[in-house]
Copies of this chain bind each other. A is one copy, B any other.
Amino acid sequence: MIIEKISRALGVEPWRIKGALDRHTIRIVKDFTPNYIVFKKSLGQIERGTSVFLNDDLDVVPGFPKIQRAFYLRPVVERHFGEKIAVEEKMNGYNVRAFLVNNKVYALTRGGFICPYTTAKLREISGIKKFLSDHNVVLCGEVVGMENPYVIHEYPEAGKFGFFVFDIREKKSNDPKPIQERNSLLDAYGIRYVRLIGIFKKAIVVEEIFKIIKELEKENREGVVLKDPDMKIPPIKYTSSKTNTSDLAYAFRFPYDYGRDFFFSRIMREGYQALELEEEEDDLKKRALRLGESLLYPMVETMKKIKKGEIVTEDFTVRVNSRREISKIETYLRRQGVDVNIVDIREEENGFVARVKRMRHSTNDKIRSLLSGKIE
């Protein structure tokens, strides 16, 4: 019976829902009221990360569609967009969808699970609840800053925890609002959104983007998302070389825990960008050095630590109102398959601060064994 309700709510045949449940590509989350289901893979038109809340209304929060990437920019712009192209800043954080269920704000991370930490934090941001009560939509945005258990990147404008909306999407259709409309709506509620750097004519946008990327790089900012101002065409992302190499440098602290494809695609991006910028000699050499350092230095640092007998972990800070929240975060992350230990819980004026240590077993085990004389 529940399958039929879900089937009607999503417009998908019941047998397909049943099949996905059997294959475990749909997961049911039961330690939550209301229970909800999560699409771990896409199913027909239903995006991966879609969640359906099993309350009377059967609220559906569609998955956030993957934003495709340009490797070589000029022909992408020419083929893909209309005459005007909006250039927004792409922020380096984690993708969150905020929405209302039973009149309460919840936050889903990319995979479609309710993150207790992000949920608690978004509830502290004024305007969000009011906005979602007035508009039956999903606020899609990036959480950035220094205090969260996922992605640490400093933004002066974000402080410890910042939420910057990049899309207002209809629940049913998953259609995003045009950019200007999105901004006006959010302004009225004092909700922050990603920076619109400019709307450019197609003929000049590529030159502009490379100038923008250069400026963003100076401030350690990630890159841009190119959008049709009316949001009728899917957006496309493009990132700076500094972002590619910072990603590599971060991941090479834990080289055996990240996928080979993660490394490979970022290395390749450097080639496409060097080609498009027609770099020669000095510039190319600088890029090569930056690339080489991003691979070698962090891995040697990690090896040195392991040689000394240390264990390398990935460390995050979280700030919450109660000890109970900390253990909820721990339980949540463990269930997601992330092996964490929470340490150094200390009480501060307005609550508790704790360190989340993510264990990186493959890197520790592999390096330790090779340093102690394993051959392979």
A residues contacting B by CB (< 8 A) are: 68-72, 74-76, 78-80, 236, 255, 260-261, 263-264, 267-268, 270-272, 274-275, 279, 284-285, 287-293, 295-297, 299-300, 303-304, 307, 370-376
Contacts and interface: CB of A to CB of B under 8 A. Distances in A.
Contact of A70 (B76, B285, B375): B375
B264 A75 contact: no
A267 B300 CA distance: 11
Contacts of A78: 373
A370 to B, nearest CB: 4
A65 to B, nearest CB: 13
A303 B373 contact: no
A373 B69 contact: no
Among A69, A288, A307, A371, the most chain B Cβ lie within 10 Å of the Cβ of A288
Nearest to A295: B267
A72 B371 contact: yes
A300 B274 contact: yes
A296 B279 CA distance: 11
A371 B75 contact: yes
B296 A287 contact: yes
A57 to B, nearest CB: 36
Contacts of A295: 267, 270, 288, 291-292
Contacts of A72: 370-371, 373
